[in-house]
Structure 1
Amino acid sequence: MKKKTAKRTASLILALSLVLGLWAALPVQEADAGSQYITDILVRATASSVAVSFHYGKDTSDEDTQSLRVYLIRYDPYSKVVNGFYTPDGTNPVGDYQTTFANLPSGQQYYVQIHGSARTYGTLSDTERDYYSDLIPIRTVVPQAPQLGLSLMSLGASTVRLDCQLLDTGTGVSYDPDQRIWFQNLGVALKSSAVVVMRQSLAPAGNLDPNDPLAEGVFGPETWDDYENPFETGIEFASLEPDTEYIAQVQMTNTYDLTGYSAKLAFRTYANPQVSIDDVKALSTGVYVTATVTIDARDEVKSLSLYADDPDAGEPVYDPARLSGSLVRFDDATGQAVFQIGGLAYETEYDLQVLLESQGGQARSAKSTITTLPEPVQASVTTQPATVIRSDKARLNATIGSTGYTSIIEHGFLYSATNAHPVRGALDAVEVMAPVTSQTAPIPFFAIADGLLPGQLYHYVSFVRNNEGTSYGDSLTFTTITAPAVLTLDGITDKTTAAIRLYGEVVSTGGIEPTLRGFVYDQLPDPLLGKSSAQSALDDVTNASTGQFDVLVSGLSANTTYYYKAFIHSLSGTLYGAQYSFTTEALDTILPSVALLTITDPQVTDTTAEVYGTFTTPAGTTVTETGFVYSEMPNPTLNDFDSMFIPLTDTDGMFTTLLSSLKSNTTYYLRAYAINANGTGYSPAVSFTTKNTLSAVPPELITSFHVDDIQATALTVTLETTGSPVASKVVLYSETNPMPLYGAPGVSNVTLGLADGTQKTIDGLKPNTTYYLRAYTRKPDPILGGFVTRYSDVLTVTTRLSGPPLVSHAAIPVTDLDLYSATVNVTLDPNGGTISRYVVALTASHLEPALEGTGVQLFDVAASISSAQSVQIGLTGLHSRFNYAYRVYALNADGWGATPVQPLTTATAPDPVAAITAIEPGATAAAFTVTLSQDGINENKVGFIHVAVGTSPNPLPYDTSNRVALIEPDGNGTYSVTVTGLIPETHYYAKAVCTIRDDMDFAGADVTFDTLPPPLASVALYGPELSALADTVGFAVDILSDGGNPVTEYGVVLDTVPN
């Protein structure tokens, strides 16, 4: 007959016999259904055996006979070994089974199959059922040398404990490092082991030999014993040399006579620990001990102990009757330890000893013998006269004569204006403490009594407290000085057109030294120090004395009214007397009228002063000479023997000069003068000082000023000072002024900021030009205001006619930075020549960007640049997310100039993004829609998209337990793919993973889905086909679809009624 066909078709012709009107079934050979009854199969191989374990789940106890076997099959040449299990008929064989095939050759391919069977004996025929597992390939192991490891467990000065690790026996016999060795029956695989320790200086280049006579320590070779071996608990070697380098190695031989070695382990024993007693402080019933601990830098202190014992020949450490102290503190950094021990008897001799225990071992100090002090008593103290007595404070002094054989706890003073014998706690006494700085008498100490009243009598006593109580010294007295005061006396003498002598009286200085005294005067009322219009004149006396004083004030203007006050100045502040006034005499009208221009801070240094004068002369007269006269004495004139003068020929109305060779920290008095036929006219005298005597601020010293480099258009100078953070540092330079001053015409300057350090480059100069350079410093004066200044000597420098170009990075060296390009910004200075070419040398950040360097990319620009200008160079073809370094070079006729190296890092390309946006699950497959929204750029370009599906979260494409489908995308878009081989009715996780050209993966988020239930198998039945036999008929069965699962059984059901 003609049969229908399908994609999957299996045909079976069943012959049926009809005997006596009954259907009788012929014997049926069932298909391989064993996989559902034979589960949990585990096959393991060693070099000489194959072990098989499995679970058998078919109950055939109701069958007439049953059997269970395991076959070990070899095909080339063919052989078959059978191991059977005893399963008595009528018993349930369900259970776990295991068997081992032994004495096999190594490195051979085998196949394992498990076979269960059962038979039922029938009247006409028998029914036999067989259940087979799949053929399972297995290869016996090829023997290898054992794999071993070795590490340190502990280390000392003369000992080491080694941890020997067995990683692999090399025979295929498994070893679990988490289980105890003696449970694992490793004797079937291992033969012997050995451990060797040898000095590193004597060790051979190859493996260590346990039979080497130079070995320092050897274990074995020992026959392997599961219970006694170095791998179970480690092995210790003693009697090593301290602070010595050693090599250790473990070796093992397996039953195939293959020997494996660990890597050599290098170690250095600790140096011997040491401890010594440095200092002992004995008390009445105790002692403080200071000791020094010296251990290896790698070592660690475990314990420190102090012991005391009666003096004898033994060591306190070993005496059971010893006394134990306690550790007060231990400093790891210095090794200093401080101990304390108590409970000792008075005036008794003891031996002391310190015991140190460290990781490296044990050490004992030498014995130290001490005698305790007598029974403690109160300390004694002597009150001593007060010193440094001021109007508001005094220093109180005392000395502790005896500590009373115990520790001083505190000491100080009590003082009172009303109580002649003040004690602690008294309401009419003030207590001031002094810090305890010593425990060894005699102990001098002092404290400051502050906030006292001027001119007041005070009583004071000293006190000291130790563990036995408080003791007092004698009561003494002192009287404070009256408060500082000064009077302005209403008397004047020696008044001229430009000078006057003023008088004052110091009533009290408060005992403060130094105390400055003098007068402050002004053409405006209420003169005060620090006012811009006021001037001062000082007396020479600066000690704490009192009494009248007078000062000749010079440099005054003729016919002018001045207001003045006497003042004193000290640490307690500035005090003034009453204000008075005077008017100077008028000048004769036939002499020139002369004036001094104001002398500003920048004009004065330690040794020089730049001064300016002007004059007018009566009609009909001519000035023939001008100049300046100056002296350390007030009101200088040309005829004074102690005055100096500088004559000038400037007679046009203004004149100037530089006073030089002045003494530092000195006050000078200066007058300008002009001479006509009638005589000499003077300006009022002006005083200036090369260091302000009323200020505690010294000028900033210039320690070094020199030129480091000379170019055609630039000079590099170094300026070093004493380094005050508030000082300004300036370099002055000029083409025309040979004595540059700050702020003077024709003088330029550059400032050295904190970021400049001590070196500065002056740019924009003219080639082949002479310049005058001078360093200048200044810092603020917090007392009188203004600045304290200093100048250096003048340097004369001529720039070069030309030189190599000067190339510098712009303030923002790199702009327009993206993934593949950037713009470099530099300033090019031809330095007196013409730049013909400039080049950017670019390379990886770890290389030097030299013009002819390896791996350097050049961006070369031809040019003709004869003046300084800023340029931009575009860099293209770069890699994203890359660290570069570059240097810019420029060339003129004198050679190459270059910038310092500058880093550059390109932007990072965006990461690719792909996501699963739709899933259509089936029973054994699922269709996915994947959207690629960012396909990356250049190095991040997506090459593949993997869709990974697994039963656990975060499925990845390289996990072999997951199912994977591949997409080769072409830019952003939506893609479809199907993953097959899934299990019906299972919960799955899925993930899209992008792989870029650099083999980096970028994973999307997990999505979940469930596969559908499997469809039923479908079949078609054809027939009947009648045969020549009266009791036989034939049918044909076509399997149209297996429904997604393997067909395990099929047949024909017959009956005499429908369905």
Structure 2
Amino acid sequence: MKKTFPILVTVLSLTVISSCKTKEIVPVPPTLDTITVSETTFASVLLSCAISNVGNQSISDYGFVYSETNATPTLADSRIAHGAVSDPNVAPIKFSDVVKGLKPSTNYFARSYSVIASGTIFGPVMTFKTADVIQPAIKTDAVILVFTTSAKLRGIVETKGSFDVSEYGICWSSTNNLPTTADSKSGKTNISVFPTIYTVDATNLTPNTAYYFRAFVVSNGVTTYGDALKFNTLAITQPTIKTLDATTTSTTSVKINGVVESGGNSADITEYGICWSQRFSTPTTEHSKAKIPDSITVFPKTFSVNIYSLNSNTEIFYRAYVISNGVVSYGDIKTYKLETEGFPTLTTGNATYISATSQKLYGTINTRGNYAITEYGVCWFYINDFSNTLPITCISGASIQGSPTAFPATYSIDATNLNAGTLYIYRAFVVANGITTYGNEKTFFKEANPN
């Protein structure tokens, strides 16, 4: 009994001492969930996470860390920080961020973190890959029209891709079977609707030549091409022309007909007509010609020209011609002899003053010929430029219907409404069997008062 009491006292003393000592707090770190990855593009991603348990220590910062090369990213890598947790009693704490400025088609490592007094706590590592950059889809579609030196080509921008389109069009080459924009091209800008069908004109081509072409589109500095197609420019063909018959219109003139049968494809027609010679058997436009300086839109085009001041009873060589792209094309050469036998002969007489605006003009039918005369008279035309060659046709005139009864027959015509101070050319004429025969050309100067 004496030994039991001291032991009891010792136990009680130890109990009292133990109950008076401060109780230690065991630190509990935050708990971070696994990152969720969504909305991945070629340059960004949405990262989401939560602090499911804040623990029992103050969180001075939390967020995400990520890296392209570090499989366990730390605060020394790229980071998105949210700062201190303001209310540690609320859990879970959800947070998310769009990470921008990433590289396309690249693997990244990411994890969440929280900073407490004892250090940095990290969540599990998650890997993700950014999306591939998608280029616009382009198609080389067709050749719409082909000419000698140009062609209309078509392409289709089918889809937009990841970036805006800065240019699209067609490129072509006669030597490169996979043409690029470094070759010839025709481009467009401003596209907002997909798919877009478009055409371009390939110009300055060489006739009768094979060309390769393909559509292209430029986006984010990258050029994408469609398949290469091929076409041949047309060979140059000149207009075709035919020489037709001639008919006598007077003892010194004929009417000659021609027809431009087709226009060719080299260029627009600038001139056509008849060339002739009474000396050379192969007439050209370097000899005499009657031209029509006009274009033609409808084929075939039949035309006729009058040729004057020919030598009677002399054969004429003639052929039709047409000029296109500076090249002269000819029809067949034909010959014709004026039918002068049996027609009347006549002489242009003098002119006498009547008044300030009129003049009496004379003519003489020397022989009647073999045909009935239906009309005779005088025609005239004024000339203001004395240096010019006198014209061979008249635009004003007066006539007498019927026929004289005796030959030679001298007659006169009053030319009226004349202009004083003007030089006039005139000549007598007679119509027999539908053919007009002219006398020699003469002139007079119209004076206001001969005195």
Give the alignment's TM-score, normalised by structure 2. 0.43
Give the alignment's TM-score, normalised by structure 1. 0.21
- Larger relative contact order (C-alpha < 8 A, sep ≥ 6)? 2
